[in-house]
Amino acid sequence: MSEMNQGGSKLVVAVDDGYASYDQEESLLAPLGARFVVSPCRRDPLRALDAAREADVVLVRESPLPREVIEGLSRCKAIIRYGIGVDNIDQVAASERQIMVANVPDYGTDEVSSQAVALALAVSRRLWLHDREVREGRWSTGVLQPMFRLRGRTLGLVGFGRIARMTLEKFAGFGFARVLVTDPRAELPPGVERVDIDTLCAESDVISLHAPLNEQTRHLIDAARIARMKPTAIVVNTARGGLVHTDALYEALRERRILGAGLDVFEKEPPGIHKLFSLDNVVVSNHMGWYSEEAMRDLQRKTAEEAARVLRGEAPINWLNRW
């Protein structure tokens, strides 16, 4: 059943669960006379609509909020994403209904950049392969698969926002000879070269993705661009799975046309038992690059603060679909 807006009180509904505590949301919203309800819809749009129909503010993590949900929200003023990417929210439909869409772009920067570096190193040093060897009772100092040092090679960053900049900061000690960036608007530090995506794919040894997912960036790393990559190339994706054409990446990895891949995100999540997982030159994690205890508390607090602004009649700081 939908959460009725009893007695005219303000209502904030989170349509996804997953956090151990919601004390910050409750403490920030209660003084504004708002009820806070967690009503997980398990990625089901119909359940999301049922839960949030009469909400003043909707909070969402990974569940899709397509047009049919947004058009059914009777009094919603804002949809706020627990996170950065908003590709699961129909912003056009929200704008038509004068519903503000906001996100939290400034949390987990340290964590995601660390995850990108960790994945690159795990692939470069073949850690998964050697971990398995030791666990299964095999001990050999021989070469299982080729490894190459990073010093003197080329780092490519697709997108140059907060996370990419911190990724570069953390990679600085590894001795890359060149750093290439594809981002037409970002201001670049000295020594960093701005190039187009085709050049970056052709010349980089580590390609780390930090772009948002939209119509222009979906399958940005496609079969043609993968074909341009060096045999020593490592693809790292901690941004959005849809940036990469998964089947094309799988074929390149299977045929060992590139060195490997480190993936924290997938086109479909959860991905099930994907054919990628049969390969020994890919390292995967379950979209947990954002996580630390500190980052989770930051995210929940900042999301609740945005909801509180909306309930006070203010615009959210990170309002994305401005009209």
State both tokens at 215.
Answer: 């119509």
Q: Does domain 109-284 have CATH number 3.40.50.720?
A: yes
Q: What is the 3-state secondary structure (H, E, C) of 159-191?
A: CCCHHHHHHHHHHHHHCCCEEEEECCCCCCCCC
- Residue 37 forms beta bridges with which residues? 13
CB-based contacts of 165, cutoff 8 Å, min separation 6: none
Give CATH superfamily name and number for 6-107+293-311.
Answer: NAD(P)-binding Rossmann-like Domain (3.40.50.720)
For 75-124, the pLDDT digits (tens) are 999 999 999 999 999 999 999 999 999 999 999 999 999 999 999 999 99
Segments of the chain assigned to CATH 3.40.50.720: 6-107+293-311, 109-284
- pLDDT over threshold 90, residue 1: no
Catalytic residue ranges: 240, 269, 287
Q: Which tens digit of pLDDT belongs to each residue from 19-61?
A: 999 999 999 999 999 999 999 999 999 999 999 999 999 999 9
pLDDT (0 to 100) of residue 141: 79
